[in-house]
């Protein structure tokens, strides 16, 4: 086991901020994960599992604990006549999984192309885009329960997946080692979202999962900052889901507001509130700003700090609350939590 000490968290997260982590241990196997947990225990340190760090805000004061860098690889497939069940090690980059599925011509995760992060991170917030999410294809998740030391296989139902949510957010002692998805041999493109609808009307090829993945990547590349030059964790906030009464109140005050009813209430695109109600498109505090092409996305110029991101996020949360009485929630998680 190699323990790297005093590693800058800015090098491990896509927001590219944060002080140093006391220790970082790359975990390529279940045995490595157990050894890293043992190291944390022996040194009385908390620990935190990190994949590609694409949904995490690290603080300037760093992390006085052990970061387990999830690197478990491996892909396996089981034929099921009309479907293919594909299993991925938790450290496999998600984009690699999407391309592997597309190469086999199976449907189900093509709308999730271009999302940064690892396969192991996908159930944690039930990643979703363009009307697809992990809950539609997930079969099971293999975890190491750090509280008991046991390996458990959780069914999709047991993962308690919700809108950008799962039990893994509440139970960080469940360390995801592998995930399995059931993907369909026959399928058709899901193109209900405006950007995809427009591409379809323009005659863009949607005939295969590979083609759909390419369309999605092309759209995303225009709406999200370039990770090579800018710090970002994608959408920083969740779209609020409100009651019909709250929605009616918004309409009474601000006129037509787009709505997407779902089983839990009425989902409102927060980007609409930020842009059209509050005029916050491009809103900047220091190096941190709401991205012009999609104000739900917080971006950070080189030289920025986690304090600037935190200040901007709080400012936005307060402004939304003052205007709508809605308390918005963050998608991005904080690395300051101690999972011991």
Residues annotated catalytic, as ranges = 164, 235, 331
Pairing of strands 20-27, 56-57: unpaired
Helices (H), the chain: 30-42, 94-103, 167-170, 194-201, 209-223, 244-254, 270-272, 306-324
Nearer to ligand NAP (CB atom), residue 194 or residue 279? 194
Nearer to ligand NAP (CB atom), residue 48 or residue 130? 130
User: Nearest 5 degrees, angle CA 222-CA 331-CA 62?
Assistant: 105
3-class secondary-structure state, position 145: strand
Nearer to ligand NAP (CB atom), residue 96 or residue 220? 220
> Which residues here bind ligand NAP, judged by CB under 6 A?
128-131, 192-195, 223, 234-235, 239, 260, 267, 269, 271, 294, 331
Tell whether the torsion through CA atoms of 326, 131, 174 and 1 is positive or negative.
negative
User: Nearest 5 degrees, angle CA 132-CA 134-CA 138?
Assistant: 130
Distance CA(47)–CA(26), nearest Å, equals 13
**Measured torsion, CA atoms of residues 179, 148, 12, 4, in degrees rounded to the nearest 10:** -130
Pairing of strands 297-300, 47-50: unpaired
Nearest Cα to Cα of residue 159 among 183, 124, 128, 129: 124
Nearer to ligand NAP (CB atom), residue 235 or residue 305? 235
**What angle in degrees, to the nearest 10, is found between the helix axes of 209-223 and 94-103?**
150
**What is the closest distance, in whole angstroms, from the C-beta atom of residue 76 to ligand NAP in the complex?**
28
H or E stretch covering 88:
strand 83-89
Nearer to ligand NAP (CB atom), residue 84 or residue 189? 189
Q: Which residues pair with 162 in a beta bridge?
A: 165
Q: Which single residue brings its beta carbon nearest to ligand NAP?
A: 234
The answer for residues whose C-beta is within 8 angstroms of residue 110's C-beta and 6 or more apart is 98, 101, 102, 132, 189, 209, 210, 212, 213, 216
Q: Which residues pair with 5 in a beta bridge?
A: 23
**What is the closest distance, in whole angstroms, from the C-beta atom of residue 304 to ligand NAP in the complex?**
19
Distance CA(331)–CA(236), nearest Å, equals 5
Nearer to ligand NAP (CB atom), residue 102 or residue 146? 102
């Amino acid at each position: 086991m190699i323990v790297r000490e005093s590693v800058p968290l800015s090098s491990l997260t896509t927001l590219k901020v944060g002080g140093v982590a006391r220790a970082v241990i790359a975990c390529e196997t279940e045995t490595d994960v157990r050894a890293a947990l043992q190291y944390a225990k022996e040194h009385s340190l908390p620990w935190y599992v990190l994949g590609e760090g694409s949904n995490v805000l690290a603080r300037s004061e760093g992390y006085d604990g052990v970061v387990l860098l999830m690197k478990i690889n491996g892909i396996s497939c089981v034929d099921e006549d009309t479907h293919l069940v594909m299993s991925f090690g938790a450290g496999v980059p998600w984009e690699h999984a999407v391309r592997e599925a597309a190469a086999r011509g199976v449907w189900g995760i093509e709308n999730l192309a271009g999302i940064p992060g690892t396969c192991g991170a996908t159930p944690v917030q039930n990643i979703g885009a363009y009307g697809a999410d992990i809950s539609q294809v997930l079969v099971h998740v293999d975890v190491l329960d750090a509280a008991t030391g046991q390996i458990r296989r959780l069914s999709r139902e047991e993962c308690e997946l919700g809108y950008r949510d799962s039990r893994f957010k509440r139970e960080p002692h469940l360390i995801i080692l592998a995930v399995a998805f059931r993907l369909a041999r026959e399928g058709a493109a899901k193109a209900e979202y405006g950007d995809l609808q427009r591409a379809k009307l323009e005659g863009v090829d949607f005939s295969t999962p590979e083609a759909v993945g390419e369309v999605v990547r092309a759209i995303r590349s225009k709406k999200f900052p370039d990770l090579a030059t800018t710090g970002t964790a994608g959408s920083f906030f969740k779209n609020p889901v409100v009651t019909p009464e709250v929605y009616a109140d918004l309409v009474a005050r601000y006129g037509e507001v787009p709505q997407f009813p779902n089983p839990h209430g009425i989902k409102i695109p927060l980007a609409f509130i930020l842009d059209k109600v509050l005029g916050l498109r491009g809103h900047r505090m220091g190096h941190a700003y709401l991205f012009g092409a999609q104000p739900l996305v917080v971006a950070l110029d080189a030289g920025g700090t986690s304090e600037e991101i935190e200040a901007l996020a709080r400012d936005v949360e307060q402004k939304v609350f003052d205007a709508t009485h809605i308390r918005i929630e963050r998608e991005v998680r904080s690395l300051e939590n101690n999972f011991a």
